[in-house]
Amino acid sequence: MKTRVEEIDTNIYELKSTNTTLKKSIGLSPDIIKEISKEKEEPEWVLDLRLKALDYFNKLDNPNWGPDLSMLNIDEIATYVKPKVDNKRTWEEVPDDIKNIFDKLGIPEDEKKSLAGVGAQFDSEVVYHNIQDSLTKQGVIYVNFDVAIKEYPELIKEYFTKAVPIMDHKYIALHYALFSGGSFVYIPKGVHVDFPLQSYFRLNEKGAGQFEHTLIIVDEGATLEFIEGCSAPGYNELNLHAGCVELFVKKNAKLTFNTIENWSRNMLNLNTKKCIVEENASIDWVMGSFGSKISMLYPMSILNGENASCSYTLISFAGNGQNLDTGLKVIHNAPNTKTIVDNRSISKDGGICTFRSNVHIGKKADNSKVSLSCSSLMLDSISKSDTILVNTIENESVEFSHEASVGKISDQVIFYLMSRGYSEEEAKGLIVRGFAEPIAKNFPVEYAVEMNRLINMELEGTIG
């Protein structure tokens, strides 16, 4: 008998729509890149950058560690998929079959309720972008990244590729060769955005790649919470996501970056995220990884200014056939900088969770503090959970502490709960949710609900 903890609608992620595509390119070549660039009417320097990146992609090798990526054949990936719609500012203008999907995902509803602005990307292009007028009046910019290249060339030239260089690794080179869509956000000095901005990425086309670029600048003394959501319906063909996020948090500014990732199980998610943090500023990463076949994702924070800080609140849940390789990298470059990490991973049904963390405390980072904690829960013996950490400390005035643990749900705890009338399955569900709770509570309410729904979906298979 199957125990259902809660009624779940698993179908919403599986919505597919056909006949939404206007144009599609398959494979990778200088000609395809030139065509994409032409389609986007880009300035010359952007095309040059794309071609240079293509060069790096061809030269660089696949990583010799972590999940095996040899299954990926870029010549079979739809590298550019243009939906039949231009960037709209109202939902009414978005074509019905695309709108239908975002409606089911609850995006416009959330916008009305609790968001300061919303962007929605469908395959390679952004189909909708809107922001509250009051914020526009304060000088807040929130636009499609392609639009930003044309409308804010100075800001783009100053920041684009400055956090994540094009040759960082093979798949970031691929990203820069093919980048399309994504968001550009600029929060002017001293502006506090009270409600989150949200970008939602939907990959609909089978066998397609998504390469959106997100660039966020939070200027001095400003604050922002940004939410990123991703999903795709399941196909048999391999899909590829190689996005890039570049974040700049200026003096006294504060940024919270939330991600809920629920790509379908045929997705290779090779995402790159980096944040540069200045004096007295902070970045808080909150990340839930549930989907994809393979994920390789290690958000990096570079603490460049005195008193800069970063925090990571992470959860991954790997089920059957999933290899979620996540982690982080932090560089402490200045005095009194701080890092706090809470990572939790759950593996079941042969899923693999690997957590890699690399924290470097340099000579200049006097009195810096690092507190790292990671715990893994194994729900069966065919799953794997690996924790790989490297901590380098070059300064004697540092306080560094780290704790990690791995194990199963204790029989004693199950026994206790069963003695209080819970079934074994209910007890396990309760404990897994409890395990995830500290992470869930860091998400905005709607997303915490979403996360619980995802956990329930994941558990459904086991608990029965």
Partner 1 sequence: MEYILNESPYKTTNGFKINNIKLDLDIPEITYLNPVNKKFNSKIGLEFDKYDEYNITDDLTIEYSNSIGRVININVDDEGEYDILLKSLDDTKCFSYIKINTNIDNKKIKINVINLLNNKTDSFIAYDNKVNNKGELIINHIDLGGHFKVNNLYTELYDNSINKVNTIYIGDDNKLDYNYHIKNIGEKTISNMITEGILNNNSYKQHKGIIDFIEGCKKSIGEELENCILLDDKSISRSSPLLMCHEEDVEGAHGVSTGKIDKDKLFYLLSRGISEDEAKKIIILSNFNKIIDNINNLTIKDMVIEYINNNI
Per-residue tokens: 287:
């990340």
Q: How far is CA 27 from CA 76, 177, 220, 422, in A?
A: 6, 12, 42, 53
Residue 391 engages partner 1 in binding (rule: CB under 8 A): yes
The helix (run of H) or strand (run of E) holding residue 99 is helix 96-104
Query: For residues 290 and 284, what is the distance between their CA atoms, to the nearest angstrom?
Result: 20
Residue 349 engages partner 1 in binding (rule: CB under 8 A): no
By C-alpha distance, which of 362, 367, 383 is closest to 462?
A: 383
Residue 405 engages partner 1 in binding (rule: CB under 8 A): yes
Spell out, one character per residue from 22 to 61, where the chain touches partner 1: x when CB under 8 A holds, - when not: ----------------------------------------
Residue 18 engages partner 1 in binding (rule: CB under 8 A): no
Judged by CB under 8 A, which of 121, 333, 383, 442 binds partner 1? 383
Residues linked to residue 311 through DSSP beta bridges, in sequence order: 284, 340
Per-residue tokens: 432:
């897994």
Q: Identify residues 326-345 at the interface with partner 1 (CB under 8 A).
A: 329
By C-alpha distance, which of 47, 131, 448, 56 is closest to 260?
A: 448
Judged by CB under 8 A, which of 9, 396, 412, 420 binds partner 1? 396
Report CA dihedral (258, 299, 131, 114) to the nearest 10 degrees.
0
Residue 393 engages partner 1 in binding (rule: CB under 8 A): yes
Please, which residue, 210 or 383, has the CB nearer to partner 1? 383
State the DSSP string of 195-254. S-EEEEEE--STTBEE--EEEEEE-TT-EEEEEEEEE----SS-EEE--EEEEEE-TT-E
Residue 237 engages partner 1 in binding (rule: CB under 8 A): no
Place of tokens 């924790």: 387
Stretch that binds partner 1, among 28-36, 103-111, 220-228, 401-409 (CB under 8 A): 401-409
Reduced to 3 states, what is the DSSP secondary structure of residue 362? coil
Contact 233, 201 (CB under 8 A): no
Please, which residue, 44 or 396, has the CB nearer to partner 1? 396
Stretch that binds partner 1, among 95-103, 131-139, 147-155, 382-390 (CB under 8 A): 382-390
Contact 75, 28 (CB under 8 A): yes
For the CB of residue 388, give the shortest distance to partner 1 in the complex, in Å: 5
Please, which residue, 132 or 354, has the CB nearer to partner 1? 354
The values of phi and psi at residue 420, to 5°, are -95, 15
Residue 453 engages partner 1 in binding (rule: CB under 8 A): no
For the CB of residue 68, give the shortest distance to partner 1 in the complex, in Å: 12
Judged by CB under 8 A, which of 63, 106, 207, 335 binds partner 1? 63
Reduced to 3 states, what is the DSSP secondary structure of residue 346? strand
Judged by CB under 8 A, which of 26, 69, 404, 413 binds partner 1? 404
Residue 397 engages partner 1 in binding (rule: CB under 8 A): yes
Query: For residues 132 and 117, what is the distance between their CA atoms, to the nearest angstrom?
Result: 6
For the CB of residue 250, give the shortest distance to partner 1 in the complex, in Å: 26
Residue 350 engages partner 1 in binding (rule: CB under 8 A): no
Residue 399 engages partner 1 in binding (rule: CB under 8 A): yes
Dihedral (CA of 100, 105, 109, 114) sign: negative
Q: Identify residues 354-373 at the interface with partner 1 (CB under 8 A).
A: 356, 358, 363
Please, which residue, 144 or 347, has the CB nearer to partner 1? 347
Pairing state between β 244-249 and 267-277: parallel
| Total of residues contacting partner 1 (CB under 8 A) | 41
Please, which residue, 30 or 165, has the CB nearer to partner 1? 165
Residue 169 CA, chain-centre distance (Å), reads 18
Query: For residues 334 and 363, what is the distance between their CA atoms, to the nearest angstrom?
Result: 8
Residue 403 engages partner 1 in binding (rule: CB under 8 A): yes
Contact 253, 222 (CB under 8 A): yes
Report CA dihedral (46, 47, 52, 54) to the nearest 10 degrees.
120
Residue 406 engages partner 1 in binding (rule: CB under 8 A): yes
Residue 388 engages partner 1 in binding (rule: CB under 8 A): yes
Please, which residue, 120 or 324, has the CB nearer to partner 1? 324
Residue 307 engages partner 1 in binding (rule: CB under 8 A): no
Place of tokens 């990425």: 201
Judged by CB under 8 A, which of 43, 66, 207, 335 binds partner 1? 66
For the CB of residue 369, give the shortest distance to partner 1 in the complex, in Å: 9
Residue 408 engages partner 1 in binding (rule: CB under 8 A): yes
Judged by CB under 8 A, which of 392, 418, 424, 464 binds partner 1? 392
The values of phi and psi at residue 355, to 5°, are -115, 120
For the CB of residue 109, give the shortest distance to partner 1 in the complex, in Å: 40
The values of phi and psi at residue 341, to 5°, are -125, 130
Residue 3 engages partner 1 in binding (rule: CB under 8 A): no
Stretch that binds partner 1, among 21-29, 62-70, 250-258, 448-456 (CB under 8 A): 62-70
Q: Which residues bind to partner 1, rule: CB under 8 A?
A: 63-66, 298, 329, 356, 358, 363, 376, 378-408
